[in-house]
Amino acid sequence: MGVLRTHDYVLREGCITLRPLTDADLPLLYRWNADPEVLYWTEGEENPKPMTPEEVDGMYRQISQHALCFAIEVEGEFVGDCWLQKMNLPEVRALYPPDADVRRIDVTIGEKRWWGRGVGTRMLSLMLDFAFDKQDVDVLHCICEDYNVRSCKLWKRQGFVLVDPRQHGARHELHWRLTREEYRHHSL
């Protein structure tokens, strides 16, 4: 039995492709999740502990049961991963009506040479169209740390609204929301 539960969705725009994440992608996921610099931006910790392959397998096995996990490719090169996941945080679910389809997008650009080159912006555009137009999501709720300025700019640029900054020591965990109505209004 494999690690990842997969799907059949493929999303494309220009040189960016989002394809199903598969077990064949695990070696790069192991490398990225063991790189303190990558983890700093994704996990929100000053000194993140590199993950073992077993920990990565466990994380992706669990996530893929409740998420559509995608490999991000640029011109055919696997450079990162993202997923559209049913909201799994009770304190976030409590912010929305019980019957609302609330999901989150998590993203990692693991290949550092692609940082700051617009991959996240193009990926997010594809994911928003997919989430709201194909999956009928009501709300996307995304989280990043306040020091991750690139992520903050990414969410704002796509119409997300800051809804819930939470203090974590000297830092803030920033919660961003985009409803289907806000997305359609922003897309006009």
Residue 3 counted as domain residue:
no
Q: Return the higher-pLDDT residue of 186 and 175.
A: 175
Does residue 162 lie within any of the structural domains?
A: yes
Residue 113 sits in a domain whose CATH number is 3.40.630.30
SS3 of residue 187 by DSSP? helix
Q: Which residues pair with 167 in a beta bridge?
A: 172
Q: Are the C-beta atoms of 92 and 175 separated by less than 8 Å?
A: yes
**pTM, two decimal places:** 0.92
Q: Which residues contact 171 (CB under 8 A, 6 or more apart)?
A: 44, 145, 146, 147
- Could you tell me if residue 23 is inside a domain? yes
Domain of 28 in residue numbering reads as 11-187
Helix (H, G, I), strand (E, B) or coil at 26: helix
What's the mean pLDDT in 65-81? 97
pLDDT in tens, 41-69: 887 666 678 999 999 999 999 999 999 99
For the chain, give the mean pLDDT.
Answer: 92
Q: Does 24 fall in a domain?
A: yes
Q: For the chain, how many structural domains are there in total? A: 1
Structural domain contains residue 180: yes
What sign has the CA pseudo-torsion 134, 140, 145, 147? positive
Question: According to the model, what pLDDT value does residue 83 have?
Answer: 97
Number of Cβ within a 10 Å radius of residue 183: 20
3 state DSSP class of 171: strand
pLDDT digits (tens, 9 = 90+) for 103-161: 999 999 999 999 999 999 999 999 999 999 999 999 999 998 888 889 999 999 999 99
162 — phi, psi (to 5°)?
-70, 125
